[in-house]
């Protein structure tokens, strides 16, 4: 019995020990599980804090870009290189650094902690700079004068270009040179777009006609000229570059210092040429001298002229007097029509028949008469018809890339808008001041409407802006834009400014007129604009967008005692400028007519200009332009092991 009792006791002790081991193991597993769960929670919270650091950094950057739409990426990072913060959870902290990586992208590195838990994340963003509108300026303002269906330029003023970002026209620059350049371009777009240059003005730049081009009565061009139709020069014209015609070329008097080329006929009388002449069709030259060679796939006829560098034709050749240096190569017939028709060194080769008057009967035989295989004629490149779709369009664009009628209809309002009348009964005339969001009469003796004028939010050319809406606008007094503000006016009717009226635009301010009717700035009216024609946000200081399509003149400038600066976009109407003083800026119209003794000066700074976007906040700073943006490119995770 004793043995049995002892065995039972041992058994109980063993079972108790086993149970104790099981309990202790379970307790240990529970403790480990609890610690693992805690560490996971710390890691998750740290991850969330790391993400919060990234998002806080982006919020900081976006706020900075909204405050300064034109801020550069470097300035953006310098001003916002570190971001840190906490959350409502105890010991939850994030610290983020913002820098530019080796690829030029913005790299946000954020570390989040929660007690002993740590997590690191990196996010990559591409920076897209702001400040400009949705429409590229290159297709709208990059030429001096564009007449979709035609252009007529007369008068005696100098027509050239300058860069207003360097100062006013003709200012002396730091290097001692004048702020004048030869980048002016006159062009047309439509197939009926003839250009006529008349008078004694000089165009320091190039001319490109989508149809016929006529330059008469001493209107000189320093650059190249091109016509998609016929090209006519007369009256002592001087062309400093090349002249090319898709169809026929005709010149009587004047000078071309470069090359002349055409696809059909070329006819030149009493005009020296500094380069070569080439044509797919017949060439006729009378008098004076050609410094280069003459080549054609058709008849070449010379009359009392001098050719300095040879003649080549796969057609026939006729010479009446004169002298040819450099040889004559003819695959057709040769006719020397009179005594004294000289070919220097008797350097003649021809494959057809010969008819010779003079002292050179040997021309009828070898070595002058040869087989056609022995004569090589240079290849003549056809003259290209230049269109906006051409690979080499020379900057030519479509007539109306903005689709201006649709754009203006998009900001029209159905409600009746008031007329704006600025009276001139006060000593200097009533004065209306335009800010970005509100306009007020600072001097008012009978002007209308009464009280403040409030702008309305709208979108024009893809940019959010504030617009003042009017029916007809008549300015007999004074109107000015508030300093550092960009004002936009919509005119459903006509805009008229005449008499002793004035418009003043301060530095870094702008006025944009969007108009459906006719606009006229007449005799006596003055526009005072800054020397720099582009604001800091890249907007022209004075621009006019017109959808008027009537048969008469839609935009007209006449008179004035100072140069007018304006950017005109009116592809559906005629634009007329008559000035004895001058015009600066850029013009695009269906037809453009320029006259008077005043010069026309294209502002090359407009190559970087656009309508832009007005600030909807109405801040007193007048800051305008669309803000930059960040484009997310991807995440990088770098988790740190949790400390137990």
For the stretch 207-223, pLDDT in tens is: 999 999 999 987 899 99
- Residue 109: its H or E element: strand 106-114
- CA distance to 323, 503, 591, per residue, from 571 (Å): 51, 24, 8
Tokens standing for 147?
Answer: 């007449």
Give the C-alpha separation, 572 to 567, whole Å.
15
Using one digit for the tens of pLDDT, what is the confidence trace for 169-228?
Answer: 999 999 999 999 988 889 999 999 999 998 888 899 999 999 999 999 878 999 999 999
Domain locations in the chain as residue ranges: 2-130+628-639, 404-570
pTM > 0.85: no
Let me know: does 526 contact 550? Beta carbons within 8 Å: no
What does the longest C-alpha to C-alpha distance in the chain come to?
164
Let me know: does 642 contact 39? Beta carbons within 8 Å: yes
Residue 69: phi and psi, rounded to 5, are: -60, -25
Using one digit for the tens of pLDDT, what is the confidence trace for 463-488?
Answer: 889 999 999 999 999 999 999 999 99
Give the C-alpha separation, 622 to 510, whole Å.
10
Q: Mark the ranges of the chain whose per-residue pLDDT is less than 50.
A: 1, 131-139, 613-625, 639-644
Give the strand pairing for 117-128 and 145-153. Answer: unpaired
Using one digit for the tens of pLDDT, what is the confidence trace for 65-111?
Answer: 777 766 767 778 878 888 888 877 777 888 889 988 877 788 888 88
Q: In the chain, what is the straight-line distance between the N-terminal and C-terminal CA atoms, in Å? A: 56
pLDDT at 33: 64
């Amino acid at each position: 019995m004793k043995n049995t009792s002892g065995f039972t006791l041992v058994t109980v002790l063993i079972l108790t020990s086993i149970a104790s081991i099981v309990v202790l193991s379970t307790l240990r597993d529970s403790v480990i599980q609890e610690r693992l769960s805690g560490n996971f929670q710390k890691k998750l919270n740290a991850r969330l804090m790391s993400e919060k650091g990234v998002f806080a950094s982006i919020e900081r950057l976006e706020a900075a870009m909204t405050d300064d739409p034109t801020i550069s990426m470097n300035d953006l990072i310098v001003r916002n290189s570190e971001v840190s913060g906490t959350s409502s959870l105890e010991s939850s902290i994030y610290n983020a650094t913002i820098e530019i990586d080796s690829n030029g992208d913005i790299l946000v590195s954020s570390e989040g902690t929660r007690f002993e838990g740590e997590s690191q994340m990196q996010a990559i963003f591409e920076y897209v700079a702001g400040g400009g509108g949705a429409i590229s300026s290159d297709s709208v303002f990059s030429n001096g004068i564009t007449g979709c269906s035609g252009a007529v330029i007369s008068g005696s003023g100098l027509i050239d270009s300058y860069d207003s970002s360097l100062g006013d026209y003709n200012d002396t620059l730091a290097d001692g040179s004048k702020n004048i350049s030869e980048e002016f371009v006159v062009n047309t777009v439509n197939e009926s777009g003839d250009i006529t240059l008349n008078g004694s003005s000089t165009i320091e730049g190039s001319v490109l006609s989508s149809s016929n081009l006529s330059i008469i009565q001493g209107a000189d061009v320093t650059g190249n000229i091109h016509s998609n139709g016929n090209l006519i020069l007369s009256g002592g014209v001087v062309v400093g570059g090349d002249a090319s015609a898709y169809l026929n070329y005709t010149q009587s008097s004047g000078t071309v210092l470069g090359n002349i080329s055409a696809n059909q006929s070329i006819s030149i009388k009493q005009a020296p040429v500094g380069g070569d002449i080439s044509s797919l069709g017949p060439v006729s030259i009378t008098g004076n001298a050609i410094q280069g060679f003459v080549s054609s796939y058709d008849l070449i006829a010379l009359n009392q002229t001098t050719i300095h560098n040879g003649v080549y034709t796969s057609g026939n050749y006729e010479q009446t007097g004169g002298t040819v240096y450099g040889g004559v190569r003819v695959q057709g017939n040769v006719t020397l029509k009179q005594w004294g028709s000289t070919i220097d060194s008797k350097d003649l080769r021809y494959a057809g028949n010969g008819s010779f008057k003079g002292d050179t009967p040997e021309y009828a035989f070898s070595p002058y008469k040869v087989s056609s295989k022995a004569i090589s004629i240079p290849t003549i490149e056809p003259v290209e018809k230049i269109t906006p779709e051409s690979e080499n369009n020379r900057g030519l664009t479509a007539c109306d890339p903005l689709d201006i009628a649709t754009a203006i209809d998009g900001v029209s309002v159905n409600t009746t808008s008031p007329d704006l009348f600025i009276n001139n009964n006060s000593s200097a005339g009533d004065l209306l001041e335009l800010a970005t969001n509100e306009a007020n009469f600072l001097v008012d003796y009978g002007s209308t409407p009464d009280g403040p004028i409030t702008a309305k939010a709208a979108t024009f050319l893809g940019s959010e802006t504030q617009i003042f809406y009017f029916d007809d606008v008549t300015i007999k007094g004074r109107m000015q834009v508030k300093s550092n503000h960009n004002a936009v006016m919509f005119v459903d009717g006509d805009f008229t400014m005449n008499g002793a009226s004035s418009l003043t635009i301060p530095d870094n301010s702008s006025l944009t007129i969007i108009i459906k009717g006719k606009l006229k700035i007449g005799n006596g009216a003055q526009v005072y604009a800054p020397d720099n024609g582009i604001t800091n946000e890249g907007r022209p200081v004075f621009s006019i967008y017109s959808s008027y399509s009537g048969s008469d003149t839609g935009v007209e400038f006449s008179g004035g005692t100072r140069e007018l600066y304006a950017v005109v976009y009116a592809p559906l109407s005629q634009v007329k400028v008559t000035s004895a003083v001058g015009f600066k800026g850029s013009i695009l119209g269906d037809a453009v007519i320029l006259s008077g003794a005043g010069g026309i000066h294209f502002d090359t700074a407009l190559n970087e200009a656009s309508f832009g976007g007005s600030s909807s906040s109405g801040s007193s700073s007048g800051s305008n332009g669309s803000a930059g943006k960040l484009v997310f490119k991807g995440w990088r995770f770098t988790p740190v092991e949790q400390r137990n």
